[in-house]
Amino acid sequence: MNRAMELALHGRGEVSPNPMVGCVIVYQDKIIGEGYHQKYGEPHAEVNAIHSVQNKELLSESTLYVNLEPCSHFGKTPPCADLIIKHQIKKVVVANLDTNPLVAGKGIQKLKNAGIEVQIGIMEKEGKSLNKRFFTFMKRMRPYIILKWAETADGYIARENYDSKWISNSLSRRLVHKWRSEEDAIMVGTNTAFYDNPQLNVRDWTGRNPIRIVIDRNLRLPAHLHLFDGKQPTICYNSIKDNISPNVEHIKIKEGNFIKQVIENLYAKRIQSVLVEGGSGLINSLLENDLWDEIRVFRTAICFGKGIKAPQIRGILFDRATIQDNDLLIFRRGDEW
């Protein structure tokens, strides 16, 4: 199962909004086949693993390990459960049930009905963590939301003039580029877009550029900002107009809870994860509405004395690291699964 999850990770950044799935086939304690879900819309892990087995006659005496329940539905591809049954695989070991309502236990049932021995829950926690984005998307019907900021030792994220230089260091910033490549979208508020003029792309790492999302209720942001350069798909949520132009898609939000509707719209667009890079206004409104899953904070020894207050951290410390003169602290909700 460890190997299956290792394989699954190769799909990172390519399979969303599908989960990352890997599969290993074992005959007499030897791996005879491997595969993983490589790209959204393409064959599932089990199909690739079964196809990789040279001597298909061994399958009826083999065990198949897969980190997600084999699917039972006709989606972009036919059901994996049917393929497993067709090859009369002896035993199937699964980490997590598929919470997609189209599957949700039906895959397991199909296998059992065909007389296949099924074992569920091996490395369940690791599997949930691996596919935290997919499971959150299914359970909470919204993207997995990561809040990120850098703060001084005395709790500021910027000076009064919004200058936020000298908090994070070059290595931390490079790490953020890696993070950008791992999520479907990246989101900033109006002030961050205006004062930092960020490009929100992946320059200091190798990987795919996320969709850029900016909140600009009253359309105050000037068109010359990097965000509107047309180099990446960009969405601007506002209260004024719906419009699609080559450089930016404007989406009008109705009266009511603005940020909640933004997140609902991201779900409707099947954006499975979003990295929120500030500023404090946007992050605070997400925290207040309980719309978050993970907080990643860089903390430096420098003090500003005054400025723009950092949001209040919540959650449970999940991981920490030292990156040159920054401490990196990662918090999670603690009620994920």
Candidate list 4, 50, 66, 71; residue touching Zn ion; CB under 5 A = 71
Q: Which among 68, 132, 141 is positioned nearest to 335, based on CA atoms?
A: 132
- Residue 75 site contact among ligand AOF, Zn ion, none (CB < 5 to 8 Å, cut-off depends on kind): ligand AOF
Q: What's the sign of the alpha-carbon dihedral 108, 40, 294, 137? A: negative
- State in angstroms the smallest separation of the CB of 54 from Zn ion: 22
Q: Any binding-site annotation on 60?
A: no
Residue 70 binding ligand AOF, by CB under 6 A? yes
- State in angstroms the smallest separation of the CB of 133 from Zn ion: 18
- State in angstroms the smallest separation of the CB of 15 from ligand AOF: 6
Stretch that binds ligand AOF, among 52-60, 65-73, 248-256, 296-304 (CB under 6 A): 65-73
- Residue 132 site contact among ligand AOF, Zn ion, none (CB < 5 to 8 Å, cut-off depends on kind): none
- For ligand AOF, which is the closer residue by CB, 34 or 46? 46
- State in angstroms the smallest separation of the CB of 23 from Zn ion: 10
Q: What's the sign of the alpha-carbon dihedral 168, 327, 274, 45? A: positive
- Over the window 191 to 210, marking each residue x when it contacts Zn ion by CB under 5 A and - when it does not, the resulting string is --------------------
- State in angstroms the smallest separation of the CB of 42 from ligand AOF: 8
Q: Any binding-site annotation on 283?
A: yes
Candidate list 68, 80, 150, 186; residue touching Zn ion; CB under 5 A = 80
- Residue 201 site contact among ligand AOF, Zn ion, none (CB < 5 to 8 Å, cut-off depends on kind): none
Three-class SS string for the chain?
A: CHHHHHHHHHHCCCCCCCCCCEEEEEECCEEEEEEECCCCCCCCHHHHHHHHCCCHHHHHHCEEEEEECCCCCCCCCCCHHHHHHHCCCCEEEEEECCCCCCCCCHHHHHHHHCCCEEEECCCHHHHHHHCHHHHHHHHHCCCEEEEEEEECCCCEEECCCCCCCCCCCHHHHHHHHHHHHHCCEEEECHHHHHHHCCCCCCCCCCCCCCEEEEECCCCCCCCCCHHHCCCCCEEEEECCCCEECCCCEEEECCCCCHHHHHHHHHHHCCCCEEEECCCHHHHHHHHHCCCCCEEEEEEECCCCCCCEECCCCCCEEEEEEEECCEEEEEEECCCCC
Parallel, antiparallel or unpaired: strands 273-276 and 156-158: unpaired
- For ligand AOF, which is the closer residue by CB, 15 or 214? 15
Candidate list 37, 44, 133, 296; residue touching Zn ion; CB under 5 A = 44
- State in angstroms the smallest separation of the CB of 44 from Zn ion: 3
- Over the window 18 to 57, marking each residue x when it contacts ligand AOF by CB under 6 A and - when it does not, the resulting string is xx-x---------------x------xxx-----------
Candidate list 34, 84, 98, 286; residue touching ligand AOF; CB under 6 A = 98
Q: Any binding-site annotation on 206?
A: no
Active site residue 46: yes
- For ligand AOF, which is the closer residue by CB, 53 or 103? 103
Count of CB atoms within 10 A of residue 196's CB? 20
Peptide bond into 17 cis (omega under 30): yes
Q: Which residue number is nearest to ligand AOF in terms of Cβ?
A: 75
Q: Any binding-site annotation on 203?
A: yes
Candidates 6, 14, 42, 46; catalytic one: 46
Q: Any binding-site annotation on 204?
A: no
Q: Angle at CA 16, nearest 5°, toward 7 and 254?
A: 160
Please enumerate, by residue number, every residue annotated as part of a binding site for substrate: 164, 180, 200, 203, 277
Binding site for ligand AOF (CB under 6 A): 18-19, 21, 37, 44-46, 68, 70-71, 75-77, 80, 98, 100, 103
Catalytic machinery residues: 46
